[in-house]
């Protein structure tokens, strides 16, 4: 029988021989026991010290039953700026033995001296170093700790396309929908009610598999940054496979940003014809205008997107819809000197006059 007592004399843990054999089966029985104590007593193994007959047990000590040990929990040691930087650099270089040694001081893994408030876990997430992240979590690093603009490690992993890191963070119960308070004030206050989520960032940067992982975990596909949804930014950036994934997840096809633009309008404006086709085939509103009255056809005429204009006409859009200034797609194409588009509109039967030209 193994018994572990707190310094007060209260029993902290008791293990029968069979369970002890399982816990101590690894290369370091002491480390295995500390990991088990962490799961049972919620104290980081890096802060634990085990004593046998008043003597400190090293990580390489052997354990034989019957055995009685004393458990002492150390406070974090004071860490200098240099020591905090050393942990960050060790993580950045994926030097796991060095990370282990620093955390054994014991040192608080959440300390930061970076101007952007990023922690060692942010660094691990940025580089996709899952093993280093696991060590930091064992040191009780906060998986949802935001940097100065509110970016959590999961958002950083999503942005950089690190699928294994994103999966591990979700297993570690990171906040799936945590919002970066873009341009925020470095607090967790009201500013965090808007801003990009991990799914939004994956959609923006074209990280298809990370987005799939987040959607499978039931990420909110409509949470937005300045009213721009993941589908909106994926359409704007021309990430066709991501757009298809989000449409299959039943994302709102006609969501609008603060200017009233839809995903289709932005795809049309940017010349992403294949994305526009996906949206149209999914039933997106083909004539929905933004706050200026500009339709997808209108903005594609302004931006000289001939292929998109041809596509929109094939889907039967309103060829003569005027914006709030009275301009039509034909009149704006002529004004911009996009004569190939003007000719196409004329051939399709578009009116060749507008209120603005009559004034």
Domain parsing of the chain, residue ranges: 2-73
Give me the count of residues in the chain: 359
Who wins on pLDDT, 194 or 141?
A: 141
Mean of pLDDT values over 88-96? 98
Res. 180 pLDDT band, cuts 50 70 90: confident
Q: Across all residues in the chain, what is the average pLDDT?
A: 93
DSSP 223-242: --BTTB-HHHHHHHHT-HHH
pLDDT digits (tens, 9 = 90+) for 217-276: 999 999 776 678 999 999 999 999 999 999 999 999 999 999 999 999 999 999 999 999
Res. 194 pLDDT band, cuts 50 70 90: low
pLDDT digits (tens, 9 = 90+) for 305-357: 999 999 999 999 999 999 999 999 999 999 999 999 999 999 999 987 655 55
pLDDT for position 224:
72
Q: Is the pTM of this model over 0.95?
A: no
Is the pLDDT score of 171 beyond 60?
A: yes
**Best CATH choice for the domain 2-73 from the list 3.10.20.90, 3.30.1540.10, 3.10.129.10, 3.10.20.600:** 3.10.20.90
Distance between CA atoms of 318 and 115, rounded to whole angstroms?
A: 52
Res. 192 pLDDT band, cuts 50 70 90: very low
Backbone angles phi, psi at 271, to 5 degrees: 80, 25
DSSP state of 65: S
Who wins on pLDDT, 72 or 42?
A: 72
pLDDT for position 13:
94
Residue pair 319/313 in contact (Cβ under 8 Å)? The answer is yes
Enter the tokens of residue 343: 């000719």
Distance between CA atoms of 178 and 161, rounded to whole angstroms?
A: 17
């Amino acid at each position: 029988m193994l018994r572990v007592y707190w310094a007060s004399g209260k029993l902290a843990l008791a293990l029968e021989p069979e369970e002890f054999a399982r816990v101590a089966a690894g290369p370091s029985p002491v480390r295995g026991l500390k990991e088990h104590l962490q799961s049972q007593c919620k104290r980081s193994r890096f802060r634990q010290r085990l004593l046998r007959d008043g003597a400190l047990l090293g990580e390489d000590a052997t354990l034989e039953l019957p055995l009685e040990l004393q458990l002492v929990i150390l406070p974090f040691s004071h860490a200098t700026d240099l020591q905090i930087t050393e942990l960050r650099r060790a993580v950045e270089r994926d030097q796991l033995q060095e990370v282990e040694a620093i955390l054994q001081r014991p040192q608080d893994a959440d300390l930061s001296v970076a101007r952007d408030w990023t922690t060692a876990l942010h660094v691990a997430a940025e580089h996709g170093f899952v093993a280093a992240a696991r060590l930091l979590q064992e040191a009780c690093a906060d998986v949802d700790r935001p940097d100065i603009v509110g970016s959590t490690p999961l958002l950083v992993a999503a942005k950089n396309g690190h699928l294994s890191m994103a999966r591990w963070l979700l297993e570690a119960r990171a906040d799936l929908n945590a919002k970066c308070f873009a341009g925020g004030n470095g607090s967790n206050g009201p500013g965090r009610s808007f801003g990009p989520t991990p799914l939004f960032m994956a959609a923006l940067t074209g990280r298809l598999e990370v987005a799939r992982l987040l959607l499978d975990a039931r990420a909110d596909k409509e949470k937005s940054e300045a009213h721009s949804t993941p589908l909106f930014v994926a359409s704007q950036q021309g990430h066709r496979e991501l757009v298809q994934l989000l449409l299959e997840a039943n994302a709102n096809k006609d969501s609008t940003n603060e200017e009233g633009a839809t995903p289709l309008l932005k795809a049309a404006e940017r010349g992403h014809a294949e994305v526009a086709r996906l949206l149209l085939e999914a039933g997106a509103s083909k004539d929905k205008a933004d706050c200026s009255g500009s339709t997808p056809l209108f903005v594609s005429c302004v931006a000289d997107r001939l292929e998109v204009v041809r596509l929109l006409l094939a889907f039967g859009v309103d060829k003569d819809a005027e914006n709030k200034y009275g301009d039509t797609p034909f009149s704006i194409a002529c004004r911009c000197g996009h004569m190939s588009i003007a000719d196409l509109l004329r051939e399709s039967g578009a009116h060749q006059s507008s209120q603005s030209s009559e004034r």
